[in-house]
Amino acid sequence: MSVDIQSIAAQLDGAALHRQAVPQFAPGSFTLAQAYDIQRASVACRQARGDTVCGIKLGFTSRAKMVQMGVDDLIWGWLTRQMREEEAATVDLGKYIHPRVEPEVCFLTRRAIDRPLNALEAVDYLEAVAPALEIIDSRYQDFRFSLEDVVADNCSSAGVVVGGWSRDFAALGNAGVLVAQDGRITLTGSTAAILGHPLRAVVQAARLVAAAELSLPAGSLIMAGAATAAAALAPGQHVQGQINGLGKVEFFTG
């Protein structure tokens, strides 16, 4: 099947740039492997505008997310510097289509990762861990997509707010997670929902990077995937995330 990778990537990149959602693609329009090629090509469009890759994210590492979005496999995408939002600052929602927030665990790598790692080895490759909030923004109308669609769309990656770093990797297992919007708790869960333990997200990230014959440089971010479903964002909100033992992270929406 001949698929125009560049043209689909340009459509998705244009949708993000102009905040104009596109319909999901017809089933079978491209394979999962081609979806990852489209993803790379769409990130290349960002890089051509001066953006740079700063890490990767995993998606659908929890049942809550799979159920909310109706898909059933782990996915991964790229994070870029322009997606980084300052902690405790105001995020302009005008640059998104229909943004949602989800609580995440974020890792910072200490060594380059280019081979599969087990959970014990993974800690050696990590500099620090932080509570984080991810802003996702599907470029598809009504946030409706197949697994292939969402991979092509760089896994809905849009914004990342990272809280204070720590080295307390022991605090990570089965820690309570919550998100509050204007003081009202909108999402609750546990880090155990992330593949049983968030460090397994690093194991999966290493497997995926190695399988793609890539290397994730030292100093990269790895977002482990949301422990809960995502909640819609609206302008004028104070959004706070908390992971027991790791601390809080917050931003405002404008």
Please name every residue paired with 161 in a beta bridge, in sequence order, or none if there are none. 85, 133
Both structure tokens of 132 = 């984080």
**Least gap, CB of 135 to ligand OOG (angstroms):** 10
By CB under 6 A, the residues from 137 to 156 that bind ligand OOG are: 138, 150, 155-156
User: Is residue 65 within the footprint of ligand OOG (CB under 6 A)?
Assistant: yes
Q: Where are the alpha helices (DSSP H) in the chain?
A: 5-17, 32-48, 63-69, 119-124, 147-152, 199-211
- Tell me whether residue 106 or residue 206 sits nearer to ligand OOG (CB atom): 106
Residue 253 interacts with ligand OOG (CB under 6 A)?
no
By C-beta, is 8 or 74 nearer to ligand OOG? Answer: 74
In whole angstroms, give the CA distance from residue 62 to residue 224.
10
The residues in 154-173 that bind ligand OOG, with binding defined as CB under 6 A, are: 155-156
Contact with ligand OOG (CB under 6 A) among 55, 163, 189, 225: 225
For residues 187 and 231, the answer to whether their CB atoms sit within 8 Å is yes
CB of 37 or CB of 149, closer to ligand OOG:
149
Least CB distance to ligand OOG at residue 150 (A): 5
Applying CB under 6 A, among 8, 12, 35, 69 the residue interacting with ligand OOG is 69
Work out how close the CB of 68 gets to ligand OOG at its nearest, in angstroms, rounded to a whole number.
Answer: 7
Q: What is the CA radius of gyration of the chain?
A: 17
Q: Which residue spans within 120-183 are E strands per DSSP?
A: 126-136, 157-162, 176-181
Q: How far is the CB of 127 from ligand OOG (least distance, A)?
A: 22
Q: Which of 13, 37, 102, 148 binds ligand OOG (CB under 6 A)?
A: 102
Residue among 155, 182, 185, 126 at smallest CA distance from 65: 155
Q: How far is the CB of 239 from ligand OOG (least distance, A)?
A: 16
What does the alpha-carbon distance between residue 24 and residue 156 come to, in Å, rounded to a whole number?
Answer: 13
According to CB under 6 A, which one of 60, 76, 78, 107 is a site residue for ligand OOG?
Answer: 60
The Cα 62–Cα 50 span in angstroms is 33
Closest by CA to 55, choosing from 33, 34, 86, 77, is 77
Q: Which of 12, 83, 226, 246 binds ligand OOG (CB under 6 A)?
A: 226
How far, in Å, CA of 134 to CA of 140, rounded?
18
Q: Which is nearer to ligand OOG, 150 or 172 (CB)?
A: 150
As a whole number of angstroms, the distance between CA 81 and CA 231 comes to 23
With CB under 6 A, what is the number of residues at the site for ligand OOG?
13
By the rule CB under 6 A, 228 interacts with ligand OOG: no
Binding site for ligand OOG (CB under 6 A): 59-60, 65, 69, 102, 134, 136, 138, 150, 155-156, 225-226
